[in-house]
Amino acid sequence: MPLHLFSLPRPGFSPHPSWWRPTRKEGRLEGIGGGLLHGWAFDPGEPSRRQRVILVSRTGQRLETLADRYRADLAAAGIGDGHHGFAVPLELVGSAAGIRALVEDGGFELPGSPFADDDGVPPLEFDRGSMRARIDGAHGSRALTGWVLDRQDRSYRPLLALRQGERVLSQGRPTRARRDMPEGFDGLHGFTLPLRPGVRGRCTLVDAERGTLLATFRIGRHAVRS
């Protein structure tokens, strides 16, 4: 019987080279805003690399996009340099319902995929003094999207708080680009507020800095209604 000699690994030994890192993609297929399907993708192991995302419709149509758009919310959260977002015009993918989002390298499917959407749900609009808010009707059960602006102070971007009763569900500032902004604004007043799975019922959107109510609405399974 042949003998096989083994030696114990020295302290600090690793079976992988020093540059090796496990693949652990991050990201999310978030929702619809301003006629665009939004999301982000990031690889902490290669933070400077822009991830290529493949969108696949229910009919099998494929569309590739690069997650390289700057997102202030991603940068603030420490997700790379913030240039990891993507936004695809809906006219390029048809109906958003059932769309899957895959990261090309490794086939990682983004959370929030496949996307659930109610076609034709209109946005809700609210006016409170100088503040104006629009909330997109379809949210895909993963994120609430829309825009908020102050007509008297165009540079003001409040800290938004999504609440259900006294409980804060999500917070964020409206800093994202939108194509459906009123004329005269820079367009960077869009927001994406992540939703926890299963959130249902009446909610409010509040300017947490001024303590003022901006909107009251009801969140359903895939849509926001008054």
- Topology agreement, domain 26-109 and domain 124-225: yes
- Among the listed ranges 88-102, 139-153, 190-204, which one has the minimum average pLDDT value? 88-102
Sheet holding 51-56, edge to edge: 62-67, 51-56, 100-103, 108-109
Q: Tokens in use for 83?
A: 């240039």
Q: Where are the domains of the chain?
A: 26-109, 124-225
Q: What is the CATH number of domain 124-225?
A: 2.60.40
Q: Which of 26, 29, 25, 30 is nearest to 172 (CA)?
A: 30
Q: What is the pLDDT of residue 12?
A: 47
| 222 contacts: CB under 8 Å, gap ≥ 6 | 116, 117, 118, 138, 139, 140, 141
154 or 219, which is more confident?
Answer: 154
Q: Does 62 score more than 70 pLDDT?
A: yes
Q: Does 104 score more than 60 pLDDT?
A: yes
Assigned CATH topology for domain 26-109: Immunoglobulin-like (2.60.40)
Q: Which of 131, 188, 141, 189 is nearest to 169 (CA)?
A: 141
